[in-house]
Amino acid sequence: MARLIVLSIFLALAAAQTTERNCPAEYPIGLCCISLEPFSANSYVWESVCGFTPPADLSTPTASFCGAPGTCYSGIIPVCCEKALTCQSGVDGPTGINCTRVEP
């Protein structure tokens, strides 16, 4: 159990350092994602399946199938987001809202 706690703390610190180094203050959450599209491109899932409240501007860049920041491998999009939400259905990992693509 202690090893799990230590590992969790280490991963959290590593993620925080990566985010601080690469993301600006207005987009503080760094993620590696498979998709970056307007909210409207998948609004049915975001609203009906995940329970997200839609943003005022449906063209808001939304990143999905995301994982923790770090090395974004080939085909994975590095993004910085204003916020990250978890789909209530428990699938897809975190979803980034109001994101911008960044250099790896």
Considering only CA atoms, which of 83, 69, 76, 66 is closest in space to residue 20? 69
DSSP string covering 26-89, please? TS-EEEEEEEEEEGGGGHHIIIIIS-PPPPSSTT-EEEEEEE-SS---TT-EEEEEEEEEE-TT
- Rounded to an integer, the average pLDDT of 11-17 is 39
Q: pLDDT higher for 35 or 90?
A: 35
| CA–CA gap between residue 51 and residue 31 (Å, rounded) | 21
Under the banding of pLDDT at 50, 70 and 90, the label for residue 15 is very low
Given a contact cutoff of 8 angstroms between Cβ atoms, the answer to whether 64 and 100 are in contact is no
pLDDT digits (tens, 9 = 90+) for 49-71: 999 999 999 999 999 999 877 77
pLDDT band at 12 (very low <50, low <70, confident <90, very high): very low
Domain ranges of the chain: 2-101
Higher pLDDT, 88 or 29: 29
Q: Confidence class of residue 88 from pLDDT cuts 50, 70 and 90?
A: confident
Strands 77-86 and 61-67: unpaired
